[in-house]
Amino acid sequence: MQRSMTRPGNHVIKSYEIYADMLFRIALVHLGSRQDAEEATQDTFIKLIEKAPKFKDAEHQKAWLIRVITNHCKTLLGRGWRKREVKLENAEPIAVDSPEDLALLQLVMAMPMKYKTVIHLYYYEDYPIQEISKILQISQSAVKMRLQRGRQLLKLELEGVESQ
155: pLDDT strictly greater than 70 = yes
pLDDT band at 2 (very low <50, low <70, confident <90, very high): very low
| pLDDT band, very low/low/confident/very high, at 5 (cuts 50, 70, 90) | very low
Task: Say if CB 122 and CB 132 are below 8 A apart.
Answer: yes
Q: What is the pLDDT of residue 99?
A: 75
Q: Is the dihedral of CA 72, 77, 80, 82 positive or negative?
A: positive
Tens digit of pLDDT for each residue in 106-121? 788 888 888 988 998 8
Note the pLDDT of residue 140: 94
Band of residue 42 on the pLDDT scale cut at 50, 70, 90? very high
For residue 24, pLDDT over 80 is answered with yes
Residues 125, 163: contact at Cβ < 8 Å? no
* Helical H segments across 87-163, by residue range: 87-90, 99-109, 113-119, 129-136, 140-163
